[in-house]
Chain A
Amino acid sequence: MNKIIQIASSRRTWAWPYVAFMAMFVVLPLILVGVYAFTDIQGHFTLHNFAKFFTHSEAIQTFLYSLMIAVFNTVICLLIGYPAAYIMAQEDFKTPKVMAMLFILPMWINFLLRTVATVELFNMCGLPLGEGALLFGLCYDYLPFMIYPIYNTLQKMDNSLVEAAQDLGASRWQSFWKVIVPLSMPGVYSGVVMVFMPTVSTFAIAELLTHNNIKLFGSLIQDYITTTDLLNYGAVLSLVLLIIIGLTSFFGENDTANEEKGGLV
């Protein structure tokens, strides 16, 4: 009894249930994705599923297409979002908080319902559904993720640096490209990661926005993983996605860490 009280009063141990829970429901499942990818239905070790992936042209094509869509979407979000964040971070902009709130608010509505509403909007305007609708919908869903981090870094930026550049004879464009853009890079990096990761793994949105005509990698994974016989192959596809996600977050984190260090020096 004494020992129990002793353990409980050392508050370090209070995280143990959580650590055990996470090990069981986060770490173990992620390991299982790998295990399933390397085994067949009977549970024997095999590389057959990987061989299938590299010879399965539909999967490879869908994968490359999803990557392309994700890159496109990220670029579009950046091109649209950066000016918006820049305008909001200007000193003479009077209501940045209200504006930021207005940009965040749509995210409180279920994203599927927003997607369905977008589809209906396209139908109402007589616009055809397809690639254009897909890009519009994706951009619409993830734009706030791009605006917010960029806005945060721009807002925290020391404005006297811009003034100094202009005092030293830089034009408006020069001071923008040589001072503001480099300083806002950490925000851009995290915005890019926050948009790219969900887009590359997106499912369900694509089929609604294109009436099932365009399939993204996420939907492909969904199809295979929910089919009992092909579960192991689905695990291979998930592993590929997991690697992409890992790489993205690794690069994103590295870059931001470096930038922050640079900022401190």
Chain B
Amino acid sequence: MKRCTMYDVRCTIVSLLLMFSVSAFAQSNLTYELKVGTAEENKLLTDFPESYAGQKVNITIQIVPLTETDLDFVFVHEGPVNGFDSIFAYTDESAVVWTVWRNNKPIKNRAQRVMVGNAYGTFEAYLHEQVDARHSQGWIWWLLAGLVIAGTAMYGGYVVYCRRKEKNLSSVEQEMLRRKRMGLRRHYVSQAYLWLLLLVLYAPIALIAVFSFTKSKVLGNWTGFSMDLYANLFTGKADAGLNSAMLYTLIIALIAAVCSTILGTLAAIGIYNMRARSRKMVSFLNSVPMINPDIITGISLFLLFVALGMSQGLTTVCIAHVVFCTPYVVLSVLPRLSRMNPNTYEAALDLGATPAQALRMVMLPELWPGMLSGFILALTLSVDDFGVTFFTKGSGGLETLSTFIYSDARKGGLTPELRPLFTIILLVMLTVLIYINIRNSKQEEK
């Protein structure tokens, strides 16, 4: 009994300490000092890749004073941004560079593009939004502290309740209860561990999903509920780059999935009928693209296209995607083949069918499920790929969603319509996975 109480006291102390440290930490991080100096102070150019440092840059710098007390000036460089072209790729838009200083050290330096007078409001409104976003970040720590307090209080209440109830029991019964509680505690601690892990794993995703319902340009700044981003996404009012990236992602994924399904299915049939030694060799060859990290696949293909003198674009990206998708198709078709009766195909040939007919009427119906799962796998792999696409897309302006997000993020901002897009993808994936799970468990019951 005594040991148990000590444990509870320890628990309470630890959670109180945790709470205080969290709130203290929050306090120390809330004192942001936004200060922007001259171009030299900001070392505007050194923040960008070395290769641009030597180039002549033509920037006009405009200082915009804001009424916010802790924000003195914000640098805005406008107009022709020749030197920055490769970084921003927005010659017709303005960009803002801002630095957050703490203890006279720049801790954050961001270049963010600003759209003047478009759907997201004026330039000044945008700057205010930025400042608001910085101000409103305190709530998350208060939320955490509140959760910890509530949890501690609930646990303490539960312990007191248990003590009251057990007062009149014999020592043997108390010991039994103690053991039971130890087991329960182990159970709860392990459950809590998993849920905590999931909470951390889902926090960034939840952030995207929640902020897809507000119009704010900056992720993390709530400006009221709005479905505008969804509307923009579906009516094509979103960023033109995003629209073409979505289109190209779909086109490339479909081409790659269709080609790799056909190639992979034929290959699987061939591999299945090979002799052991050559089968082993081809299987090894098949596993090479799966072992290779995408950067190696991308670079090696890039070198091949350079050596062949091929201009890089849609074709090269499609070829590259077929390369890393096909092995997975082969692997999903092979198990269907080993389950199939090998004699049916020969029987069809003996009965006078041509190989094509036998393939279409005997083999395909059997292999269909494997081909379908291979096709879906290829589709998702292709949509998700970044590394290989990045090296094979060339410089002709071809972007898929991944590379679009990459160049967008490097500029500092994130096109707001990406938020609803990925919320939808997440929901669709969740539905599909739950459906598959339910179907599998039903099949197991049978």
B119 interface contact, C-beta 8 A: no
Q: Is the CB of B418 within 8 A of A113?
A: yes
Which residues from chain B contact A114 at a C-beta distance below 8 Å?
Answer: 204-205
A127 interface contact, C-beta 8 A: yes
A179 interface contact, C-beta 8 A: no
- Which residue in chain B gives the minimum CB-CB distance to A93? B190
Give the CA-CA distance A197 to B294 in the complex, in Å.
Answer: 10
Show 9 A/B contacts (Cβ-Cβ < 8 Å), sorted by A.
Answer: A19-B267, A90-B190, A108-B380, A201-B296, A225-B391, A235-B299, A235-B303, A241-B293, A242-B296
Give the CA-CA distance A143 to B437 in the complex, in Å.
Answer: 22
Do A116 and B409 contact each other (CB < 8 Å), given the known contacts A15-B274, A109-B205, A110-B422? Answer: yes
Distance between A125 CB and nearest chain B CB, rounded to angstroms: 6
Do A87 and B30 contact each other (CB < 8 Å), given the known contacts A15-B282, A120-B219? Answer: no
Other A-B pairs, 12, CB within 8 Å; known A27-B285, A128-B107, A208-B409: A10-B273, A12-B274, A14-B267, A18-B326, A25-B320, A29-B301, A87-B190, A110-B384, A120-B414, A121-B204, A201-B295, A245-B292
Within 8 A of B (CB), among A111-139: 111-121, 123-129
A33 interface contact, C-beta 8 A: yes
Give the CA-CA distance A108 to B431 in the complex, in Å.
Answer: 12
Q: Is the CB of A19 within 8 A of B401?
A: no
Give the CA-CA distance A154 to B51 in the complex, in Å.
Answer: 51
- Which residue in chain B gives the minimum CB-CB distance to A238? B299
Contact of B430 among A105, A207, A212 (CB under 8 A): A105
Which residues from chain B contact A26 at a C-beta distance below 8 Å?
Answer: 285, 288-289, 300, 323
Residues of chain B whose beta carbon lies under 8 Å from any beta carbon of chain A: 26, 29-30, 32, 47, 49, 51, 107-110, 137, 140-141, 187, 190-191, 193-194, 197-198, 200-205, 207-208, 219-220, 263-264, 266-275, 282, 285-286, 288-289, 291-296, 299-304, 306-307, 319-320, 322-323, 326, 330, 345, 349, 354-355, 380, 383-384, 386-387, 390-391, 401-402, 405-406, 409-410, 414, 418, 422, 425-426, 429-430, 433-434, 437, 441
Distance between A111 CB and nearest chain B CB, rounded to angstroms: 7
Do A109 and B203 contact each other (CB < 8 Å), given the known contacts A16-B270, A84-B194? Answer: no
Interface centre among B140, B267, B437 (most CB of A within 10 A): B267
Which residues from chain B contact A249 at a C-beta distance below 8 Å?
Answer: 291
Question: Dominant SS at the B interface?
Answer: helix
Q: Is the CB of A126 within 8 A of B29?
A: yes
Give the CA-CA distance A203 to B388 in the complex, in Å.
Answer: 12
A99 interface contact, C-beta 8 A: yes
Contact of A111 among B264, B322, B386 (CB under 8 A): B386
Question: Dominant SS at the A interface?
Answer: helix
Do A197 and B205 contact each other (CB < 8 Å), given the known contacts A80-B197, A101-B437, A108-B425? Answer: no
Size category of the A interface is 35 or more
Q: Is the CB of B141 within 8 A of A125?
A: yes
Q: Flag A1-37 by CB within 8 Å of B: 1 or 0 each.
A: 0000100111111111111011101111110110010
Distance between B341 CB and nearest chain A CB, rounded to angstroms: 14
Do A14 and B266 contact each other (CB < 8 Å), given the known contacts A98-B437, A116-B405? Answer: yes
- Which residue in chain B gives the minimum CB-CB distance to A197? B293
Give the CA-CA distance A257 to B53 in the complex, in Å.
Answer: 52
Give the CA-CA distance A9 to B355 in the complex, in Å.
Answer: 6
Give the CA-CA distance A124 to B193 in the complex, in Å.
Answer: 24
Which residues from chain B contact A211 at a C-beta distance below 8 Å?
Answer: 108-110
Q: Flag A185-214 by CB within 8 Å of B: 1 or 0 each.
A: 000000000000110011110011001100
Give the CA-CA distance A30 to B47 in the complex, in Å.
Answer: 34
Q: Is the CB of B220 within 8 A of A234?
A: no
List the 6 closest A-B pairs by CB distance, nearest first: A15-B270, A126-B29, A29-B300, A18-B267, A117-B204, A14-B270
Distance between A219 CB and nearest chain B CB, rounded to angstroms: 10
Distance between A259 CB and nearest chain B CB, rounded to angstroms: 19
Give the CA-CA distance A84 to B200 in the complex, in Å.
Answer: 13
- Which residue in chain A gives the minimum CB-CB distance to B28? A126
Which residues from chain A contact B205 at a C-beta distance below 8 Å?
Answer: 106, 109, 114, 117
Q: Is the CB of A33 within 8 A of B303?
A: yes
Do A18 and B409 contact each other (CB < 8 Å), given the known contacts A33-B299, A124-B207, A225-B302? Answer: no
Distance between B192 CB and nearest chain A CB, rounded to angstroms: 10
Which residues from chain B contact A69 at a C-beta distance below 8 Å?
Answer: none
Q: Is the CB of B303 within 8 A of A116?
A: no
Q: Is the CB of B426 within 8 A of A109?
A: yes
Which residues from chain A contact B406 at a C-beta distance below 8 Å?
Answer: 112, 204
